[in-house]
Structure 1
Amino acid sequence: MKTTVTITVLFLAITFKSFSQNIHQKIDSILKVTHQKNPNISISLGLVKDNQLYFKAYGNLSRISDQKVDENSLFEIASITKIITANLIAQAQLEQKLKITDFIDDYLPNAYQLNKNLQQKIKISDLASHQSGLPDIDFRSLIMANSQQPTDAVNQETLSKIINNCNELIDFGNYRYSTIGYILLGQILETVYKKTYPEILNENLIQPLKLTSTYSTDFNVDNKVQGYNSEGGTQELFNWGITGPAGLVKSNTLDMVTYLKIVLNQKSRLGKAAILCEKIKYNKDGRQLGLGLNIIKYKKNTVFLKTGDVLGQSSIIAYDREHKWGLVFFLNQRNHSLRQELFKNIFEIIKTK
């Protein structure tokens, strides 16, 4: 009997290993073909499946460098920052520092004076699910003024003017992607913790997960990847500033897969916060959103997903809690169509049939 059990366990272990290797080989094949078709674009991918980690990368740190990209290479995670900010908000609820159903009025810095029409109307969850109705920053004008560092021009005065001059929420309760909503969430975190966002990020994410290459303010490292805009011109990584909680964190695939691994552990603090973020807060016209997360349902699969695009890089992070996998990859060029194509092809491999 004991021998039979031992043989069965060994067989299952070998089968699982072969299955995992098959997935890895297929993903590697997709990445290799993608890079052959786009030799100037570097790709770094990380996958966690059934608690096992896998990394693969193609390309160099820049088009004039011989140093290869790997899981330690630093990228801009762009708007993936938003799911980190949302998770920190959920952690604050777990600590009873706020409730996501609270109105934002009492949590905002004194620089904001909400118009009477806006008072006791916008909830924290509205900011996090892009349905607050607040006007947003005019990034088109900022890019025209400074294409390398457009966010440098945004300060507290800029934000106060936008919020304090708003007297009507023209599309409250409807989806409209919002950068300013996540900047406000970052400031709400600073209010309840009485610390700066980088300090909160460090104490509630970087230190507990022992992340070694996730940065906010200081990211002057040797293995930083050069970004390129959609036309192929060089693009600087954005400086840290007041818009940081919406999209300015820098990291690598190793740290982000470590993040995903802990998110998939529903007993962890981060996992419990992620489960709060996964609850549907917006459900209209075929679009479902949690806190910072797009919710994609396909047959047996429920995928929580966030994309990121800055002027010089594109990224995506996705996971399926039920089927125990998580994926992240970075491109060192702004190319959302290639990102979407790559994710679609990889999803075909790892999804549950």
Structure 2
Amino acid sequence: MISIKGLNKIFKSSSGDVTAVEDLNISIPKGEIFGVIGYSGAGKSTLIRLLNRLEEPTSGEVIIDDQDVTKLSTNKLREARQDIAMIFQHFNLLWSRTVRENIAFPLEIAKVSKQEREKRVDELIHLVGLSGREDAYPSQLSGGQKQRVGIARALANNPKVLLCDEATSALDPETTDSILDLLVDINEKLGLTIILITHEMHVIRKICHQVAVMEHGRVVEQGDVLDVFLHPQQPVTKRFVDQIMGDRDEEDALSTIVSQHDSGKVLRLHFVGEKTNQALISEIAKRFPVAVNILHGKITQTKKGAYGTLIVHIDGSSEAIQEAIHYIEETSVEVEVTSDVS
């Protein structure tokens, strides 16, 4: 559906060239929710503006539905942009227009008849959950309602791709979740491909199928969200995963247990999918002459399934501990020996 090949963006200034995006290569399947995550200055917002040529690329290709957007003339680009909608962090609504009039605006530009406009606007108001607020002005809406108007307006011309540039960053956590749920609903009902830019791993975890991690203008890691959670390779990715799975209490527990015991091992267990429901600890205690002390645990949900970590201290003879570890590994639960207590 979307193929990004060798994409580069260099900003020239009197103080020297600045490379915002460098040699990006990404493939995004049709109908997926694809997340791009990075800290401030990583180049993610520049990337999303390159996809619809709000920024002109220095080099490279952006192919959407077999059409290279970077090579389109001005008129052809205007047509293509009807298939590439965008929503923004700060909503970008027309403050002198009502909800209905804001949503109708792109249809007016496209010269859609009044009767068809009204029908389409009614459909969109219902889709985004704004029934009863049609005649309200943006100043009378909450942040979440404003973003729902922005989403409805973006969908007016039945786009194939929806670009979301930090679309939930200005919202509180509860409202963020409601907007994310709406995006999932739209993705499933309309088969819309969604590209979502964010600096929050919670957003990626909750709704994305795949993720690309950006740093200093480059994609340093990408793949299925669950795989990235399980096996983060780069330091920046590990920091993002720690937003969801990390906890200072974990390190405190580890240091405390090491100082209070003179034998055994501290293990970090990684559970995926149905394995998160296994009664593994009680089985170990029944089968082997070891003592197991749970130090810390956490489970989170991704689009591809649950992912959990459990940190335990296991004590007993060296042979019994090794047998218990081997048993755990046979259940397909990943085992990491964090430390030997000695």
TM-score under structure 1 normalisation?
A: 0.24
The structure that is strand-richer by fraction is 2
Q: Comparing both chains, which one has the higher relative contact order based on Cα–Cα distances under 8 Å and sequence gaps of 6 or more?
A: 1
Structure with larger Rg? 2
What TM-score, normalized to structure 2?
A: 0.25
